[in-house]
Amino acid sequence: MESNYKSGFVSIVGRPNVGKSTFLNRIVGQKIAIMSDKPQTTRNKIQGVVTTDDSQIVFIDTPGIHKPKHALGDFMNKMAKQTIPDVDVVLFMINANEKIGPGDRFIIDLLSRTKSPVFLVINKIDLVHPDELLPIIETYQSEFEFAEIVPISALQGNNVDRLFDVLKTYIPEGPQYYPDDQVTDHPERFIMAELIREKVLHFTHEEVPHSVAVTIEKIERDDNGKVHVMANIIVERSSQKGILIGKQGAMMKQIGTGARREIERLLGSKVYLELWVKVQKDWRNKQIHLREFGFKEDEY
């Protein structure tokens, strides 16, 4: 390995729904974070690893920082804030077609306490006219002194390579933390649960909001190499269970088919996916259920 090999950690922060997970998947080159047009899709910190010949950068995708309405929301905010002081660079991602608001200023206030360089990453530039970028940049520059300002489209990939190249100039020399082929520090079980949850959010739209969790109960590989995955989808109300199952099981079949395809892509194997829906009233406000469904503060 070269003596001037660079390695470091980069945190991605921003309000909900600015495209942090889309960016992470784009830069890592495969799907490790779930994407949804609903806010607060990402609940845990998800680490994506990008390794090149001369560097390794570990990206930390955080939950969108927002005003919490329940214990789960508190947990998500805590996770996001904890990543800010300990990284080499912070990427503050904003949405090009949304005006600056109290949420952005709240994050800027948090960022003012970090010693790490902060980049302003203006995402979704494909949704605005290029002439609109300068006023956005001027507005944010008047609020905070950013080390760099980089406009990108995570969805289309515009300027993402340039952002990576600029990042590398800020990353210190250091060892390679992960093997060349590792793209995330999360186990496959976690990613499978997230892929199922993504399909629930995608197909049920507003009917089953973020009061849904997924636990993987069993993963077994049979003699033919087929993987049997059994998972529970947890909701807060019986009415939500009815929506998830759908008329004659139609909704559950749709969710299952979509999730199975994603899991097969992840594992590179044929998958038999078995889904069960369970009701756990008000789980988002109960610490015992938050821990049971994977929201463990002591892991961070």
For 41-55, write each residue's pLDDT tens digit: 444 455 778 888 899
- Higher-confidence residue of 183 and 27: namely 27
Q: Tell me the three state secondary structure of residue 16.
A: coil
Specify the pLDDT at position 156: 92
Environment class of 196 (CB within 10 Å of its CB; exposed 0-12, middle 13-18, buried 19+) = buried
CA nearest to 203, candidates 236, 238, 233: 233
Mean pLDDT check: name the lowest of 88-97, 165-174, 175-184.
Answer: 175-184
Specify the pLDDT at position 228: 84
Site of tokens 């995330």: 184
Mean pLDDT check: name the lowest of 16-30, 78-92, 113-127, 268-282.
Answer: 78-92
Tokens of 119: 């980049």
* Average pLDDT value for residue range 123-149: 94
Question: How far does the chain reach from its first CA to its final CA, in angstroms?
Answer: 30
CA distance 217 to 275: 10
Environment class of 290 (CB within 10 Å of its CB; exposed 0-12, middle 13-18, buried 19+) = buried
DSSP 173: B
Which segments within the chain are labelled E, that is strand? 6-14, 46-51, 55-61, 89-95, 118-123, 148-151, 212-221, 227-235, 271-279
Specify the pLDDT at position 21: 81
Specify the pLDDT at position 85: 55
Binding residues: 14-21, 61-65, 123-126
Q: In degrees, to the nearest 5, what angle opens at C-alpha 137 toward C-alphas 67 and 154? A: 70
Residue by residue, DSSP assigns 222-239 as -TTSPEEEEEEEEESSHH
Tokens of 266: 């992840």
Mean pLDDT check: name the lowest of 100-114, 184-198, 280-294.
Answer: 280-294
Task: Count Cβ neighbours within 10 Å for each residue of 48-69 and write b for 16 or more, e otherwise.
Answer: bbbbeeebbbbbbbbbbbbeee
CA distance 33 to 79: 16
Residues making up the chain, counted from first to last: 300
Specify the pLDDT at position 297: 44
Tokens of 267: 């594992």
CA distance 257 to 245: 13
Beta-bridge mates of residue 7: 56
CA distance 114 to 92: 12
Binding residues for GTP: 14-21, 61-65, 123-126
